[in-house]
Structures are given as C-alpha cells and as structure tokens.
Chain A
Amino acid sequence: MLANYTLSLSIWVPILAGLLVLAAGNDSRASMTRWLALLGGIAGFLVTLPLYFQFNIAEGGFQFQEATYWIPAFQIYYHLGVDGISVPLILLTSFTTVICIIASWEVIKKSIAQYMACFLIMSGLMIGVFSALDSILYYVFWESMLIPMFLVIGKWGGQNRVYATIKFFLYTLLGSLLMLVAFIYLFHKTGSFNIVKYHDVVLPLNVQIFIFIAFFMAFAVKIPMWPLHTWLPDAHVEAPTAGSVVLAAVMLKLGGYSFLRFAMPIAPDASHYLSGYMIALSLIAILYIALVALVQKDMKKLIAYSSISHMGFVTLGFFLFSQLGLEGAIVQMISHGFISAAMFLCVGVLYDRMHSREIASYGGVANTMPVFAAFAVFFAMANSGLPGTSGFVGEFMVILASVEYDFWVAFIAATTLIFGASYTLWMVKRVFYGEAANKKVAALKDLTRREFAMLGVLAALTLGIGVYPQVITGMTQATSERFLNHMTTSKLPSVGM
C-alpha cells in the first residue's frame, strides 16, 4: 500500500503555519500577520479534505493509517488512523479554525501573531487527538492542547480571565493525569500503548470499573458532564469570542470522542454496568442545566450552559448502546459544533460593538441590525431544535433511541425541546425585539461583509445537515456498527482461565 501522509499533513500543516506566523508576524505588520494566519488556516483546512473524499465508507476500521517507531524504549509509536467517527470531527476542527481566524480579524489588536499562532497550533493538536492510535501520542496531543488555550483565555480574555483559565487548566489536568495512570496500567497488562490492542485486552470487572472511572474523570471534565462542568461557564465567559468558539465547537467534542475511543471499548462490561449512572448524569445535565441556563443574565453564560445541556444528549446517546442513539449522538456533536460556534459568534458581534454581554443592556437590536437579527434568530431556532436544522436531527435520533430504552428517560430528555426553546427564544426576545433599549443600541451598525460571510457559511451548514444528515451518518454507519458489535462482546476473563 502506498504511504499516505494525509493525517500527518492535517496535524503538522497548521502547527507549522502557526510557528511561521509566530516568527514572521508582528503587531506593526498586523495586516500581513492576519493574512498569513488566514492562509495557514485555509491550507490546514484543505489538507483535511481528502479525508472526507477518499474515505471508504463501507469500511468500519481505521483508515489512512501511519505508524513509525517514536519511543521504542516504551513501545510508543507515532501511530495515526481515523474511522468514521473521527473524520467528521477532524473536518469540524480545521473548519472551525478558519472561522476563528476570521472572527478575530479586527477584534484582536495586541500580540496578533501570538494569538493567531495559538489557534493554528491548537488546531493541529486537536486533529492529533482525533487521529492518534497510540495512547501516549494521544495523551501528548491532548495535554499540549491545553497550553495554547490557557494562553488564549488568560491573555486575551475578559475581566476575570486568570481565575477562569487556571481553573480550566487544573480541572482538565486532574482528569487527564488519572487517564495517564490508566494508560500505564494497560501498558503493563498488554506491553503496548496501542489503542487497538487495548480494545481486546481481557480485564476483570473491578479493574474495568477503575479504568472506566479514570477515563470518566478525564472525559467527563472535558465534555463536560454534571457535576464536573463548573469550569466551562467561567472559561466561556472570560474567553475571547474565538476562544469560546473553539471550546464549544471542538474541545467539548474531544471528551465525547474519547469516550467512544477509550472508556467504552476498553471497559465494555463496566460501561454496561455503570450505564444507569451515566444516563442519570446525562439527564441531570439535560434537564437541570437547562433550568440553570434559563436564569442567566449573561448571554455567553447562557450559551455555555446550553452547551452542557446539549452535550448531555451526546452522553445519553452513547450509553443507550443502540445504533440510532450512537449515530444521533455523533450528529449532535457535529451539529452542536456549528450551532454553538455560531451562537458565540453572534454574541461576539454584539460584544464587539457594545462591550457588554448582559442581556439587560440590549433590547430592540433587530431595529438597527435586521440582517444580523435574522441570522441570530435562525441559530437560536437551531439551538432549540427546530426541525429542518441540524439541531433537530441529533436530538430527535437520541430521543427516539431512548424511547426504546425506557419511556421516562425519553420523557425527561424530550423536555429539553421545551426548555431549550424557552431559554434561547426568551433571550432572543429580550435582546432583539421591542423598541431600541438605549442610545447605544439605536446607533448599532449591521453586519460587515466579514461577519456576514462567516455566519452565512455556518447557517448553510446547519441547514444542510438538518435537511440531509446522511452526510454524517453515511460516514459513521459502518464504524458505529462495528463499535456496537464490539460493545456487546464481554471482555471479562472466562471462568476456569
């Protein structure tokens, strides 16, 4: 087979572009720095496209594999590969990076080069997480990614940014280090850090439960699941707009993806054993966090809580162990990537003009910014799960799957259609409708071409996936069948062994 370096390119093109921006960019050459970053971002996006077009959708295993010895002392390989779950997420990542660079075009005025470089490097590292098939390689990407995000929130964030960014870093680090312990444990069991080998290792139930909990700590923080979510509202509120976009669109998905890659296939029996708890936690996230979102006064905080609530559907879909639920969860991940990114961009558009995130300081924005209001209302509808948008597809699939599992689970999950609509639409009403609340609102200017372009693309994608979700489900079908097949095989040591 001919060597295929698509994945390596996807990882390293943005990282190298980031380093180049860092080396060549400068605040005194702001415009050149921005264009260079944009070119890097677009190049990074283009090199990921072959993953979509050359992907063999009939095949459920790993494709585009690359493997070379990296650290022979510990049997660690530079081993990459993708399946139907990771490809959409990689594309989401490289696409989001371009959006982020455009979104920060005029807003960021100090240390532009460092800022843009952070996003480009982060993009490469996140793609690395989605494509690593060696657990230490995965871990290195997973942790390194924290460094640029830490700097982005801490340096370009809002008032309380230092508290938020340190909280973000430490929460994530705590979980990840426990995951590292689990990796090392599995290494001593299997003599390898290969993720695929981990999937086949035989483990007694109590060990599986410990391993599952170690992974759970890492991923539940990232997704985030209630009650480990408290870092997210802080981080979102303080992060600059593009930082929030990456956090919501991609970083949260890393947690979801990792559940499918590690926690569940390595400890399938523990996953089944603990699925009741996981479903309960997901429902708490869906219902309780939606209620919390309802009372928020800060727009970004509201969207942050709505993210947690929507990610509850993802974990719910995973632990129903059905094809429909799983695919619904994956669609939900992608769709949430677009919608939450768009929502944060909308807040960013307002914030850039008014420097306030308080709902109370707005009112009647639709009078002065009609085009923007149209976009915002569209994304709000998508966020509350309007049929025809991608937000509906994922949630509906998961709810259908949960009806098969248990009526009351489905019932509680379905309440989100009411609560989601209430907190989003209520916010829209207060911000956009009525008379212009004050002079500042009355003086607002509508979208610039740059803003129109980025919101337009996101709107098209949200609508596209909503109408034709097969774009994603077609890719994931073979992989999710394989995954569920694997999940039904017990890995407990057989009696008498």
Chain B
Amino acid sequence: MALHLAILAVLASLASALAPIPFHRSHRLLKGLAFLLLAISGIAAVTGGFLALFAEKPAELLLPVGLPWLHCHLRLDPLAGFFLAIIGLITLVVSLYGPTYVREYQGGPQPLLVLTLFTGLFVGGMYLLVLAADAFSFMASWEIMSVSSYFLVAFQHQHAKNRAAAFLYLLMAQVGGLCILLAYGVLAAFGDGFTFAAMASAQLDSSWSTIAFLLAFVGFGMKAGVVPLHVWLPQAHPVAPSHISALMSGVMLKVAVYGFIRFTYFLLGDILWQWGVLTLFIGSASALLGVLYALMQHDLKRLLAYHSVENIGIIYMGLGLSMIFAGSALPGLATLGLIAALYHCLNHAVFKSLLFLGAGAIIHQSHEHDLEQMGGLIRRMPVTAVCFLVGCISISALPPFNGFVSEWLTFQAALQGSALQGGVLSSLIPLAAAVLALTGALAAACFVKVYGIAFLGLPRSRHARKARIPQPAMLTAQGILAALCLVLGILPTWTVGVLNRIARDLLGHGLPEATAHGWLWLTPMDPRQASYGAPLTLLGIGLACLLAYLLLHPRKQTPIRTGAAWDCGFGPLSPRMQYTATAFSMPLRRVFRPVWSVSEGLEDTGTGRAYRLKIGDWAWLKVYQPLGALLLAAARRVTLIQGGNIRAYLAYSFFTLLFLLWVIV
C-alpha cells in the first residue's frame, strides 16, 4: 500500500511534467494542471511516507524496467518513508504557492512550460531517488534531479549571472555524481551486484570501506553543500524562482543527506569512529562559516542560501556525533545523534521553505532582492510578516519552536562525549557544542538583522513603500509551514517517537526513555539528566503574557497617544537615517574579520563619495578560482594538437588505429 502510493507520487509528478505540454498556449490551464498534479503527488508521497514509517516491514518491488540484467529495485523502509514524506510535504505546499507566484513569469521571455516541465521532473527524480534500492536506479534518479534542477536554476538565462551560476551548479553536481558512482563501484566490486541488498552484505576491509566512505562523503557533501564544497549553493539558490529555491534548499539538500545516511548506515554498516570525527569537523566548520557568511549578505535569498550551509552543518554535526558513538560501540548514544540529525532535517525543510516562500512573497510584491531597499514591510504585508517571524525564530533555534528541539537534542548528544574512552575525543566533542552555541547565537543575530531591516522600521525605497498584500494562496502556504514550525516545536515527543522507528531500523536501537514520560516531557536519556517540557513552555509564556496583560493593562481604554520618535532635536527623521543591514553586522565584521576577504573603502561616484564594501568567500578565491585557472591553462595546452591541419588529423586517426590494434591484438 505504502509503496503503491509512493509510485503514484512518482507517476503524478512525471504527469505534472508531461501532461500540460499540449495545453501550453493557455497559461491558466497549464498552471492548473501542472500544480494540481504536483499537489496530488505531494499528498500521495506524504501518505505513503507515513504508512511506511508505521509499517511492520519494508515494502519491496521489482519493476521490469531498467537494464536487462538489472531491473529497477524499489524499497520503502522507514528511512525512505521519512524523506519521502518531507519531499511530499514541501512539494504540496509549493504547489499551493506556485500558481500565483509564477504569474510573474507569464509573458516573459521564457515559456512557462519549461518551468512546469522541469519542476515535475525534478520532484519525480527526488521521489524515485529515495525509493531506489539499486545503484543504477539511484544514479539515474540522481541525474534526473541534478539536470532538471540545472534547467530550473538557468530558467531566467537572459542574465549572464544566472547562466554562470547554473553552469557552476551543473559542474559541481556532475563531479559529485561521479564520486558517488565511484563509491558504489567500490561496494559493487566487493559485493555481488549493484542492488543495495547485495552491497549491504559486502565484506570490506577497513581501508576499502574508508575509501568508499570518503568518496560518498565528497559526493553527497557536494550536493548537500558542506564547506568547502558549498560554493555553488549561494550562487544557484538566489537565481532560481523562489518556490524552486524552497524545493532546492528545503528538500534537495535533504535528499543528499538521505543518500549519505543510506550509504553510511545501511550500505557500509560497520561505522568507524574516525569517519564520525571527519563528519563532525566538517559539520562544525560548515555551521560556523555558513552563518558567518550569511551575516555579511544583504541579498535576502543569498543570505538564506548561506543559512542552508549552516543548517546542513548542524545536521552533519548530529550525524558525526552519532557515527563517533556508533564506532565506539555506544548504540544508545548513536541513536540520539541520529535522531537529532533527522529531526533537524525535517525542521530545516519546514522553516527554510517557509523563509524562502516569504522571501518570494516579498520579491513578488516589491521586486526587491536587497535588504537595504526594504523596510516597514510589516505594515504592507502583515500575514507574511507574522509567518516570516515564526520562520526567523525557528531558524534561530529559540524555544518553543522547532529549530530549538533538534539543536537541543544535538547538544544533549554532544554532552555525552564523556562516555567515550579517549581523552582527546571526549574533550573535543564539547568544543563542537560550543561551536553549535556560537552558531545559534550568530544565527539569532542574523535574523534580527533580516527581520528588523526588512519588516520593521521605515521603508527604504519606493518599491517597499508600495508593496501589497500577497494573494491568499501564497499566504496559506506560508501559514501551513508556520503552523508546522510550532507543532513540531511543541510536540517533540511524537516526532521523536516516529524517528525512533528509523533508528531502530538502521542501528537496531531506539530511545525508549525519550517518550516514556508522556507527551509533555521530552527526556532523551533519563528524566534526571535532562528534560524539556515544550508544551508547558508555550503554556508558561502564554500564561505569563496573559497575566501581565490582565493585571497591568489599565481598565479604562483611552486611545493611545502617538508622537514623533526622538530625533535629538534636529528635525524630522528620514529612512536613510536608520541602521542598514551592513551597519548592523559591522561589529561582528570587525570581530571575525579574518573569516572573510573584506575589501572596503570610499569611491567617487561622480556626484559624491560612496562607501563600498565587498565580501569575498575564501573558498572561492583560494581554492576554486586557482583550480579553474589551472584547468583552463591545461586545456589551452591541449589545444596545441588542434592545429586545423587536415593531414595532422588524419595522422592522429591513423596512429590511434594502430594503437588500438596493438592493444587488442
């Protein structure tokens, strides 16, 4: 049943790609059909995923398609079901949001059909990927996902910037895909065939399994966007249409995490603690650098893209802790880390999609990407402002919303480091917790900046002053995600109870204590050790607010007097006197200066002098640019043989033929 629903989801998304083709002349019909089918696929995927989470045993199916000797194996176990449900959920919300959002592209230089075609293929590829149970169908759906998202990134290809971002994305996706292919190759060489079942039973010695792990780490890390493989992310996400950014950032990165978990926990099995150290280190670096780079951005979508790097880092930290514990024969603690990571996957999918949809609503209404041009939007778009605030609180890991719960679980996992034998390791792990604390605090600073600059204060441009309320469908989509942020935040015991099933499936061990004390209390290890009463927190805040309001508010209601804000007696305030996003982050820029390549100064603009600030990414400047230059130089050398002389070419062919004959005979 669950697997049938999942297949229905795949078929519906493929239909949403293909069915509207005959109707491409009518925008209305095209949009309606495409997004309706996408919504159906989302519902089917969520239902199927949930059924799989509660199923007794995984459903399997052999489809008679694919290579002659390797048919397409499908398998839906709790892990796949969980990620299938995440994809379905965000797809459903996006299909609610999409029809009004894409109105912007109607009558533009690109036909709308391109957008719906590749959206359907993209979503279908992701569904198929989590269902795949052999390397061939996995790689095929991986490529469908990568290539169709390339076309979505390049959708507005009239801008050179977008083409460059899309090309970089495709390049890195292909390199990553190659690494994953090689990793499967190692497993297939030791196992008997390309099915996951055969690979999982392969007996590898530790050096070969480490090689396979490293290849998979690079391959999946490139798609997930961990530092230093993240450079495509802040370029590709901002240029895609906003609902696609929500899908890419909220879901596609999680699919990469799924691949990593599937490969490490399911296919490799015997986890070494050294892998965990690497994952934890890279995760910590991604989390910290991601948030620091995000702080310096003032393009809203670019900023959110850097926050994806941060959150993927937090997920990797949970996974790294889990792998360290798993490699040290502490399955209970390994479960805690894994559950923290999976919970953060779900949370990040929800709040990051919410933020991207909110950013999309702002862009749709004001046509501004730049924070420095926004301001005062809370008056123009109040519902979006409330939903966006929920997203900001969630991503800043503040109680009682969802981001806090998963970070709290990660903290709890990190605090168990003293259970390990090695002194160095058990003192390094709390340091990772400190990095996580710094990341959370910096994220809060960053989102105070985003919300304060974009929604509060005075409008900084004419566009921001003229923004209008978005259409109800767009608001509903944001409202659903905002409500989910709260539900996942105050009912963590239910979610952990569900995630327990995945952990039991992968590690053979659950967290029985976590949910043993009723739905009010989340107690990962032991109630005496740590507990968090999320519903009571919300109740407490609500009650205290209500009491303060009832007791302290005057009975006599007089209209509140308003006056001008304090201007130091110098005359009226103008929007230009407000703090800007650049000014807000200036103290932190000074504190963490070596992290970025900063160039600032004054430049003459003809009419006056202007402050100029450029923030560069060291990874891009020091690793990718030299590498690109090197490749280009090497390619130039090779062009020497391409002289344009027909006799030389004939000679090449002749010698190649001779060489081949020599090799074969």
Partners in one complex: no
Chain A interfacial positions (CB closer than 8 Å to B): none
